[in-house]
Structure 1
Amino acid sequence: MTLHFAKGNYFSYGASRPRLSRLIYPAPRPGHAGLGTHLTLDLAGRIRFGPDVEWVDTPEDLSVSSARLALAIDEIRDYLPAVDPDALAPDYAGIRPKLSRSGSVTHGTGFQDFIVRAEEGHGGWISLLGIESPGLTSSLAIAERVRRLLHG
């Protein structure tokens, strides 16, 4: 199995308007490898937008790609037209290993889900692959599946 590395760039937002108190997730688009550049809030209520999807060959480069800001602005304006582009700045980046470059939502094939499997010939080894959002939400169900694989 080949992993594909999607760097997710985040952009901070320094303007006081619009004032929002909720997360915004755009509807996933078929063929896109992520959930879209969404609005997140940190514990202090500051707004960040991200992650986008930038395919990279190695997971080592965690520098924010400033060149991706223009594309992020276009995506953000789809659901938040009042965003001030001058208040956006590169913030941080992370790497998400993915099972394919075609995205979780694909035309004609539905949703590409997580892989949770016991590895034959390696007793007690369980592979957990492709666990993206909503992986944390699904963590109890994933744990139950692992328990069943290990203990029947």
Structure 2
Amino acid sequence: MMITTPPRRLLCTTRNDHDINDRLSLLENGVKVLEDNQAAAAAGGAKPKGLYGYMQKYGLPFVFWYGLLYVGGGIAWFLIFEYDYVSYDYVHNKLSSLGLEKYIRDIDPTLGKLGIAIAVNEISEVIRLPFALATIAPLVKWVKRIRRV
């Protein structure tokens, strides 16, 4: 709350200015306005909008949901490479053609798959964050509905 100096008419004490009753009523009205503003702010007031307001509303559920998507995506990418849905040899040859042969020739294939899965998981962040933001509200409603039953 910003503190300001009282208006000049409240500070004057000469006979030409307001008498003490007028000054007192002006001060009481000012206090009432400040109390009303403070009560409105305490009752909720204006809620933040945008991403900040969204995070205030869905904070902990969003963190849990996003973490689940992140870890699940990493495990899924590793399993995709481990069970050869996408061949590790194909990815290895592509990386070699980019001039990375000296870095990847001595890497164990399982660790190579893990490294590529981590890299692809980070690249998929562009899709994961908007997906998490779009699905958290319906997910929270669904969980609340299930908990009531």
Larger-Rg structure: 2
More helix by share: 2
Provide the TM-score with structure 1 as the length reference: 0.16
**Which structure has greater strand proportion?**
1
